[in-house]
Structure 1
Amino acid sequence: MTPLPVDLQLNVDGSAGDLSEVAYEWLEGLSARLLPDERHELAPLPARVTKGPGEPGSLFGVLAISRGGITAPAKTAERNCSASGLAWLRKELGDLPEMAILEIGVFDEMGHRGKRLLSLVVRRHPVSPQWLRLSVLESDERLDGSAESLRLQQEWLKTLRAYAEKWDPGFGHISYGHGPGATTLEDRLPARNYPPEQREPRHTVNECRRYLRGYSWLTIAPKELAAQLGGQMAMTETGAFRRVDVVAGGALWLQATERFEEFHDDAVTRVFDALAPVLRPGLPVEIPRYPGKPPHLLVFEDAAERVGKR
């Protein structure tokens, strides 16, 4: 079966500190934490990326910065994920771009960039300049119900938790990936009924401390919405979550089930019911699931109407 994308995402604003430093820490610090040996192997490379194919089976590490793309085609620059390349990255992040990417992987048998071992993304948009959308792009390829699969998911949680404790996020999730950082809910709000301000992440991130952008296996609700939900005790009493914690800044850490692959059907409904009072209003529309596309794990009701029926 085709592996499906999984998005580990945090949204942070200026309360986290200098956003240029936050972006650098997400890319440099997280890659060093997750792949220290690979980072060490790549460190001596020059900054400039060599044109042409690489050595099959060897490592590649790429840093990419994209600017523009609003009124003209985006301009992208690349460097190796080496010591000198990271020095270039830090300088570039001083003037935050629309997107910054760090990827580490292995060249395939043709010398092309093949299997990715790690993909980290930082997004910032002119309509939400005070926000960064930080992602680790994963897949469900290894989610097979095994003990190793569970360890992998625990590592996902540990990774996101470390930064959630540090940066007081406005939103976070571990969810199937839909588009460039959209939540499942945002992805299914039809464009004919909802303007971009209500369904596109570059806009909705501006209001994530007012409306919860979505819900999934893991949902991080900011402290502002945690209060509206009644806090840790009230969320525990719903029975919708396997784990309910309060992270350092006051946000709620809401893990629905032990394993990612167990989040479906009744588990989805329970989480929707628990979080409906703070979810962004809107009626998501169900569509047929196409081959190779992730499922839309949603309750196809407007959260505002669900609350009104109580």
Structure 2
Amino acid sequence: MKDDTRMLSAMIDFDSAGARDFPTTSAHWLTSGAENLAPKEWQAALKSFPMMRPNEWNEAHGLPFSVWGEVHVWNSDRSIAESRPLSDASLRWMRNEVSYFPDGARLTLCRLDSNGIPYENGIDRLDLTLSVDEEYPWIAQLQAVSTFGSHLLPSAINKNELWVGFFRKTASRDGVTFGHITDDLLGPRETGLDTVLRRGGTRNSIRNGREILRGYSWVTVLSADLGERLGGVDALVRSEAFYKVSKLRGGAIFLQASESMAGYSDRTMERIFDVLRPVIPGGVPKIDPTVRKIPRIVWVDSRETLH
């Protein structure tokens, strides 16, 4: 069995999920994400369309080492909580259901093991999700989490560019409050800072994305409000802390710390931390003893200087 469980994650937070064009944005993320973020696996999956669902999960889903997938939508208003194997029909169904502003949706793509069953430990898998806040349905998050090892090679700049290109296009929408691409995901919807600072939980962190920065990573998207507090694009360019700085069409600011994920060193991380410090929540970061993975952050209170 393969043991490459390195994870790459992208997420984008919105406070405009009730907008007329948001279903189009989320449907594109869910149904086009696999083709853009894992093209080799997606092409392999297309050869198995339409896929079938076994009667029991521990039965073969397909041929050994082939690619299998499914879509899932849950919408309490429409009394829907349903999964369907990947096919042209199920993709059309998901696009249609997303137009009704569901509570959530997911597309999963995974490679099967030697018995034709998905790996239990989550390797060789891509999940594209839409999550909506239970209390404030205009707040939502799009997330992609991949453990497909062939797309996580740190030297593969072209793979990095695939993720950045798709991510950037989606983040160029109105209502973006935060976004990032990282390799230190600890839990769904969380950032590294969410796990080491007391800030009212992940849901509260998402809700306050315009007022305080949720986290900083290889690629970070600042809300327009936070960007203005830092002096805007010109000030961030003058800092010389970033490989790329630009204003997105929706008003948020795109920051890329280095050309590739491999170049996102501790020194680079400290450099961007120092620039972003005014909008990073204060507090002494503390390791959660129940968490197995240590987040990639600067272990300093943002209210203090690094040196």
Interval of TM-score (by shorter of Structure 1 and Structure 2): 0.7 to 0.9
| Structure 2 counterpart of 1:49, one-letter code | R
Match of 2:195 among 182, 187, 196: 187
Q: What is the alpha-carbon distance in structure 2 between the residues aligned to residue 171 and residue 209 of structure 1?
A: 8
Report SS of the residue matched to 1:130: coil
Contact 1:32 1:39 in 2 (8 A): no
Mapping of residues 169-180 of structure 1, within 5 Å: 169-175=176-182, 176-180=184-188
Paired position in structure 2 for 1:105 = 110
Paired position in structure 2 for 1:72 = none
In the superposition, relative to structure 1, how do residues 273 and 17 fare at CA in structure 2: closer, same or farther (>3 Å)? farther
Q: What is the alpha-carbon distance in structure 1 between the residues aligned to residue 29 and residue 251 of structure 2?
A: 21
In the superposition, relative to structure 1, how do residues 126 and 168 fare at CA in structure 2: closer, same or farther (>3 Å)? closer
Contact 1:128 1:205 in 2 (8 A): no
Contact 2:185 2:295 in 1 (8 A): no
For residue 112 of structure 1, report the CA deviation from its aligned partner.
0.5
Contact 1:9 1:172 in 2 (8 A): yes
Given the two structures, how large is their TM-score scaled by the length of structure 2?
Answer: 0.82
Paired position in structure 1 for 2:250 = 249
Q: What is the alpha-carbon distance in structure 2 between the residues aligned to residue 141 and residue 233 of structure 1?
A: 37
Contact 1:103 1:116 in 2 (8 A): no
Q: What is the alpha-carbon distance in structure 2 between the residues aligned to residue 23 and residue 144 of structure 1?
A: 27
Mapping of residues 81-96 of structure 1, within 5 Å: 81-96=86-101
Give yes or no for the alignment of 1:6 onto 2:13: no
Report SS of the residue matched to 1:274: helix
State the identity as a percent. 26
For residue 140 of structure 1, report the CA deviation from its aligned partner.
8.4
Of the structure 1 ranges 90-99 and 179-188, higher mean CA displacement relative to structure 2 is found in 90-99
Contact 1:64 1:100 in 2 (8 A): yes
Q: What is the alpha-carbon distance in structure 1 between the residues aligned to residue 134 and residue 300 of structure 2?
A: 32
| Structure 1 counterpart of 2:301, one-letter code | D
Paired position in structure 2 for 1:221 = 222
Match of 2:165 among 158, 161, 172: 158
Give yes or no for the alignment of 1:119 onto 2:119: no
Q: Aligned-pair RMSD on alpha carbons?
A: 3.0
For residue 94 of structure 1, report the CA deviation from its aligned partner.
4.6
Give yes or no for the alignment of 1:27 onto 2:26: no
Question: For 1:42-97, what per-residue CA distance to the aligned partner results, in whole angstroms no more than 9, with x for missing partners?
Answer: 5545xx734232222333121123568xxxxxx95310121221233234435544
Contact 2:285 2:300 in 1 (8 A): yes
Contact 1:19 1:132 in 2 (8 A): no
Q: What is the alpha-carbon distance in structure 2 between the residues aligned to residue 135 and residue 126 of structure 1?
A: 17
Report SS of the residue matched to 1:224: helix
In the superposition, relative to structure 1, how do residues 43 and 199 fare at CA in structure 2: closer, same or farther (>3 Å)? farther
Paired position in structure 2 for 1:239 = 240
Give yes or no for the alignment of 1:79 onto 2:84: yes
| Structure 2 counterpart of 1:158, one-letter code | G
Q: What is the alpha-carbon distance in structure 2 between the residues aligned to residue 100 and residue 266 of structure 1?
A: 38
Match of 1:134 among 142, 151, 160: 142
Given the two structures, how large is their TM-score scaled by the length of structure 1?
Answer: 0.81
| Structure 1 counterpart of 2:11, one-letter code | Q
Contact 2:210 2:226 in 1 (8 A): yes
Contact 2:125 2:147 in 1 (8 A): no
Report SS of the residue matched to 2:139: strand
Q: What is the alpha-carbon distance in structure 2 between the residues aligned to residue 295 and residue 7 of structure 1?
A: 15
Contact 1:7 1:181 in 2 (8 A): no
Question: For 1:269-304, what per-residue CA distance to the aligned partner results, in whole angstroms no more than 9, with x for missing partners?
Answer: 1111111111233332146898xx54422122332x
Task: Mark the runs of 5 or more structure 1 residues left unpaired by the alignment.
Answer: 69-74
Q: What is the alpha-carbon distance in structure 2 between the residues aligned to residue 283 and residue 127 of structure 1?
A: 30
Contact 1:13 1:19 in 2 (8 A): no
Question: For 1:201-234, what per-residue CA distance to the aligned partner results, in whole angstroms no more than 9, with x for missing partners?
Answer: 3222111111111111111001111111111111
